[in-house]
Amino acid sequence: MKKKILIISGGISKERTISLDTGKQVMKELVKNKYKVKIAEPDFELVGKIKSFKPNIIFNALHGQFGEDGYIQTILESTGVPYTHSGVISSAIAMDKEISKKLFIRNNIITPKFFVYLFDKSNKNLIKLIDKKLKFPVVIKPINEGSSVNVFICSRKNIIKNLKLLENYKKIMIEEFIPGREIQAAIINNKKLGAIELRPKRKFYDYQAKYSSKANTKHIIPVNLKKSEYDKLMDIAIKAHKLISCRGVTRSDFKYYNGKFFLLEINTQPGMTSLSLVPEIAAYHGINFIKLLELILNDASTKK
């Protein structure tokens, strides 16, 4: 008898629309394969819905704040029902770019240089600080958002204007800009799944490039790398996955420049939409969508 699956999607983050799309596509595939499925919002009635439906497994289809930063995982832990993807601590670490990057550096994983900036209304010393610590262009981004939400590549001329768009965050990350190729690597259940290269027509693989079919981002698989380089890429991805004690599936975002792989961040809740990369990587390696979902479901747990 097929298991009962409760999918949690939607939420209050800036990635709500993507989460809803992920939830719908996961539900459609599971129903097609005879699972009993219910979909729910992560609202105040969630625990009651879980108790009423009595699922065997909860599929976490949330993205962004509250969904992949340890908060919803804490609530799910209290229900005792196994849930997919990473646990409380792993999710919190991966979502916090400052903590995760410090962890990468401590464990000899190359990541772009950065510093954390606390907003000063005048921003008068910022350009001097960037000249001292990094160099232009730089990337500015929130510390705890996903899907490249509010990420900007900034020159000396436009940084102050772009900073105004991020003032609500109070503190942000300012990171050296690494040119080069954009490559993503996926890990599932502590095993290497594969990689894909992206060639966006936009400046970089931003939110629109990720989720708009009109963005014309070119997906290249297999990635054109020597075997030794490809192996190195996947070794870094699985090292980061295990370093943070992630569960289920993760996708690590890299820049490849001058023969080096720079790990930008690790995503513990990669999308499962029609434009998402993990299903595309899996399909290339002979794993169809339902098999991918079942691999994720089989690794569900209540371990933090």
Q: Residues with catalytic annotation?
A: 15, 147, 211, 251, 253, 265, 267, 271
Other CB atoms within a 10 A radius of the CB of residue 292 amount to 23
Q: Give the helix ranges, DSSP H, for 80-125.
A: 88-95, 97-106
> Residue 103, SS3?
helix
Contact criterion met (CB below 8 Å) for 171 and 143: yes
| Rounded Cα gap, residues 249 and 209, in angstroms | 22
- How far is it, in rounded angstroms, from Cα 205 to Cα 168? 23
* 297, 35 contact by CB (below 8 A): no
3-state DSSP assignment of residue 32: helix
Determine which helix (DSSP H) or strand (DSSP E) holds 217, and give its type and residue range.
none
Cα 151 versus chain centre, distance: 14
Taking the C-alpha atoms of residue 300 and residue 243, their distance in angstroms, rounded to an integer, is 19
Instruction: Assess whether the previous peptide bond of 112 is cis (omega < 30° from 0).
Output: no
* 3-state SS class at 265: strand
The answer to whether residues 52 and 38 touch, using CB atoms and an 8 Å cutoff, is no
